[in-house]
Amino acid sequence: MSKLFASRINLLPLLHLAVAVGIIAPTAAASAAEILLWSAGAAQNPVSQLVQAYQQSSGNTVKAEYAPVGVLMQRLAAGGKPDVLIVTQDVMGEVEHNGWAVAASTTALGSVGVGVAVKEGAPLPDISTPEALRASLLKAKSITYIDPNNGTSGKHFAAVLQQLGIADQVRSKTTLGKVGFVVEPVARGEIELGIQQITEILPVKGVTLVGPLPASLQKITTYAVTMGSAASDSAAAATLIRYLKQDSAVAVFKAKGFSVP
């Protein structure tokens, strides 16, 4: 036996040990998937935390993009092809009808209502009844909510203002947010009252959640996750969806303000 051949044999146990402890990555790591996730902004707080944990445990990479549901629908209509999609159940029928998702993969994640926020330390307005909310909105110097063309809560709150009969009266002091956490200007003291889904109020430092809208004016929105019909790696996409539904993930959704079935 040649010395070279013998040295190669002696190296084999060391190579196996290196793979076992991660010094040399096993072949499976080279095939780790990259998953494109589009998520409604209301789910960003729990989903971003869970995505980080999923990446660590799976070895897959998740490129997560968050936007209001209206924006995501526009992007889907323009040909966007996410691997995994989180939107409201209100629009999921349209998503499935248009062939943008695998209907059999759709499952609910949790529900959330719309709330009112003020700057931390500011007096809390009375929003306990429709009449009290109406008076507080008229009294406020400025208000903000998401553009009804973009976000679920904005579309609903615009209808609430009509129902209260004050849409015209508050229009001049209203700032419509486009994307993201629209109550951030409230935290900075630039706007007095902010209205958004509660899961998009709780993460914002510097604001206080006054409470939910009165029950008769409330909208409870359920968010669901589904696999994109053009998913580049359906097996990997399925593992992310399962991860978002496991017991530990449910606990995160509840901690972030969702009611979970």
Strand order across the 207-212 sheet = 174-177, 143-146, 193-197, 114-119, 207-212
Backbone angles phi, psi at 55, to 5 degrees: -60, -40
Q: Are residues 200 and 248 in the same domain?
A: no
pTM of the model: 0.77
Domain membership of residue 238 (yes or no) is yes
**What is the rounded average pLDDT of the residues 23-48?**
76
> How much is the mean pLDDT over the chain?
88
pLDDT at 201 over 80: yes
Domain membership of residue 2 (yes or no) is no
Domain ranges, residue 55: 32-112+222-255
- Give the model's pLDDT for residue 152: 85
Q: Are residues 167 and 198 in the same domain?
A: yes
Asked whether 174 and 144 are in contact (CB, 8 A), the reply is yes
Q: Are residues 166 and 211 in the same domain?
A: yes
- Give the model's pLDDT for residue 178: 85
Domain membership of residue 163 (yes or no) is yes
Q: How confident is the model at residue 180 (pLDDT cuts 50, 70, 90)?
A: confident
Q: Are residues 38 and 105 in the same domain?
A: yes
Q: Are residues 181 and 161 in the same domain?
A: yes
- Give the model's pLDDT for residue 25: 40
pLDDT at 160 over 50: yes
- Give the model's pLDDT for residue 150: 85
**What is the rounded average pLDDT of the residues 2-13?**
41
Question: 19-23, 94-98, 162-166: lowest mean pLDDT where?
Answer: 19-23
